[in-house]
Structure 1
Amino acid sequence: MHSKVLGVCGAYAGVECCTSAPRNPFSLANLLYVEETGLAILAGLMFAVHAVAGISPGQSVVKLTQVDDLELHEVEDPSKRCAGNNLNSFFVHYTTYHILPLSVLCKMLTSPVLHSLIISGFAYLTYLIFEFRDRAFGTTKRKDPLFKEVAGWPLLGQLPGSILEISRPWEAGTIMTLKLRPGFSITLPGARVIEISKPEWIEYVQKTNFENYVKGDMFQSLMADLFGKSILVTDGAAWKRSRLVTSRIFHINTFKIVVEPVVDQTMHEVLEVLQVAGDEGRDIDFCNLFNRFTLDLFAEMTFGTKLGLLEGNSAVKNEGGEGYSYPEAFCDAFNFSQKHMDSRFDVAVVWQWIQKMNFRATKKMESSCHTIHDHAYTAIDERMSKLSTGDLTADDTLQKDFLGLIMLSHLQKGHTLTRDELRDDSLSLLFAGR
C-alpha cells in the first residue's frame, strides 16, 4: 500500500517540522501523508483546536513507514523527529490530550477568534434564512405568472415533505397536480422542479423546442447504474442515435409479428391464474398479478424468452418463500430497482448522501442491477454468437423480438454491435413497456 497526499495543513513546507524552532500553531501537520481520510480529518480538527486556543502542539510524532502494510511507529522523544531532515520521511505531528485542562478550555471559550467565528456564522445563517425563507438553498426566485410557486421550508424547500412522502410519491404528486394544475414549481436544495400538465406546454417541451430541454448530468447520475447510456438518460447525438435505432420498433409490422402473439398467449395465462384462484377460493392480489403480467409480457417481447412468472400458479406465491426461483428473483430485482429509482428522484439533489447512509438499500440496488444486466447479457451474447457463426442472417429471424430488431437496425446502419449499447437499448424498452 503506498501512502497518498490527502491534505496540506499549515503555512510551511514539510521540512519545517524538522526544525528546532518554536512551533507555530498553524503548522500542526504541515504535510499529511496517509492512506485513510480519518487521520486527515483528525489532523484538521487538531489544527482548528490549536489555532483557536493559541496553544503550542508537540507532544509526540507519528512516523508513517511506506511499506506494503502501513506501519505506525511512535517516537516518544520529539527531538528525534528531525531524523533524515528531508521530505522522504513522512511525519504527522499531533497533540494528545487525555483530559482537556480547564485553563485551556477557558482560554478557548474566551478567545476573540472563537467569538468572531460564532457571530459571523450566526449572522450568515440569519441572512440565509431570510433570503431563502420560502424556498430551498441554492435556488433563485422566479416570477412566472403562468404557474404557481409552492412555498417550502426555509433553506430546505420541499425536501422534508418529499422525505415524508417517500413511501407514496405518486399519490402525493397526483394530489398536488390536481390542486395546482396546469403548472407549479417546487424547490429542493440546489434545484427547482417544474411540473406541467397543459397539452400545449408539453408539446412545446417535447416537440417545438425539444433541443432546449435536456436531461442533464443530475438526471443521468440518478439512472446511470441501471440504464447506462440508453435513450432514457442521454441527450444530443447519443439520444438521436438511440432514437433512430429504436424507432424501427414502432411500426405496424412489429405489432403484428411481435406484440400481438405474445399478448394473446400471456393473456391466456392470466385467465388460467384467475380460473385456478376462483376454483380454489383463493384471494388474488391484482396489483401483483398485473405487474407480473406486464413484466412477463415485455420480457418475452424484448428478449424472446418467457420468464414464467404466471406459470404454475406462481402469481400467488409469496416472494422470498419456498419456490423462490430465478423468475422470482428477477421480478424482485426489477421491482426493487424501479422503486429505488423513483425514491432517488424524490430527493434528487441529496440522493447520493442518503444512499451512503442507507447501506442495505445500496447493496440491494447493486445486486438488482447485476441480476437485470446479466439477464440482458445472456440473451445478447447468444444472439451475437449466432451472428458470428452465420446462424442469424435472415431479417425474419431477427424480427421476432425487440432485441433482434435493435440488432438488425444497427447492422443496417453500419453500426458496430456492442454488448453495453444493446443492453441499454433493450432495457429501456423493457422498463418503458412495464
Structure 2
Amino acid sequence: MADAIDTRELTMGDGAVLLANATLPSAVTSGVLNHIGDGLGRADILIDKGEVAVIAPCGELIDPDGAAMVDLDGGLVLPGLVDMHTHLDKGHIWSRRPNPDGTFPGALDAVKADREARWSAGDVRRRMSFALACAHAHGTVLMRTHLDSIPPQDGISWDVFKDIRREWADRIDLQASALFGIDSLDDPAFLPSIADRAAEAGGSLGAVTYMIDGLEDRVEAMFHAAERRGLSLDFHVDETADPDATSLRVIAEAAIRTSFSGKVVCGHCCSLARQSDDAVDRTLDLVADAGIGVVSLPLCNMYLMDRAGGRTPRWRGVTLLHEMKARGIPVAVASDNTRDPFYAYGDLDMVEVYAQAVRILHLDHPSGDWIRAATSTPADLLGDSTRGRLDVGSPADMVVFRARNWNELIARPAGARTVLRAGRAISRKLPDFRELDDLMAT
C-alpha cells in the first residue's frame, strides 16, 4: 500500500511537525481555512506532542519553533475514522461457512451453524484480532462491535472482547453491544442476565427487532433495563423489504413514552424505504422527537436485500438518510459484517464504506458535510465527542491522502494514504488471509 506522503519526518523522534498545504473538510474542524468549495478548505496543521496544536490558513505559520515540514500539496486530511456498527465475532468465517445463496435466511442459518460448532474463545479471539489489524491499518480509531449474546456464547465472546479491548486500547477504542433476537425476552431470566453482563463490561444493550406479537412490551422492557443500568441502546431494525415492518416506529414511541435518558441508535431500517410517504413522515417525526440516531450499512444491505436467484434486484436496500438528516436526525454509515455469510466481502475500511455510501446513497452534488457520517456523528452517537474531529487540542490521529478533493477520493478510495496516530505514521501492512487458514478447515 502506497503512502500519500514521505513519512520520514513522521516516524522519527517526537518533535513538532507542520503539515503544510493540507485540504480539510470544514465539517470536521473549527480551524480557520481558505475555503475552496464543496465543503473543503486549505490550511496548515501544526502537530506537537501528539496533538493538533494549530490550524491556520496556508502560509501563516512560518517555521514554527523549528518544526519539520511536510508539504501535502493539497492532500486531503480526515480525522481518524469511526466505525460504529460491526460484527467482529462473525468476521472472516466465509472460507469455512459461506452463505449458500446470498440471502438473509441463508446468512442466519450459516452463522448459527458456525457459531454452535466453532466459536471457541481461541477462534473468536484470532478472528477479532485479525479484523482489528485491518481496521487499524485503514485508519479507524473508534469502533463498536455487536456480540451474539445467546447463551452459552455470551459467556465466551464477552470475556474475549474485554481482553481484546485491553490489548488494543492504544490503537482502537472499542465498544460492544449485546445482540439477540427480540423474542429471546420470552425467557424472563434472559434480559436481566444479559443486561447485567453488558453493564459489567461497560457495553450497550441491543436486539434485533421484527414484527411479533407483544413487540411493544418487549421493547419497553429493554428501555427500562437499560435505564436502570445506565446503558445505551443499539438496535438492529427492520432489516427487510416488507413495508409492514415498522419496529422503528415502535422503538421511537417507547423512547418518548419512557423518557429514556440514554443514547439510542437504530441500524439498517431498510423497510422504511418501501413505505408510503405518509408513513415515512409519521415515523421520522417520532424518530426526530425521540432523539434517535440512525446508522445505514450500505455494503451489507446492498448484498442481502432484494436478492433472488436469476433476478436483478430492484432496490438498494438502504434507508432514507437524506430525509432523516433534513429533520436533524443524526445519521451515520458503517461497515457492518466482513467476510461472513451476511456480507461476503469488506475489510473494515471506512474509506471504502464512505466511498460506496456516496455512490449508493447519492451523498454528493453537493458533498457538503456528509463526511460527518463517518467521523463526528458516529463518534457523538458512541458518546465520544473527542473523535471524528480535527481541532486544536484533539489527538493528531488522522488519515492523509494523496487525493486532493472529494472527487479524487471517491474515484480512487484505495489510492495512497498515510495513517497518523499521535502525529506519527503507522505501518499499514495488512494481515495476510493465510494467517487464518488453520481456522478455516471444514
TM-score range normalised by the length of the shorter chain: under 0.3
Higher RCO (CA 8 Å, separation ≥ 6 residues): 2
Q: Which has the higher helix share?
A: 1
| Structure (1/2) with the larger strand percentage | 2
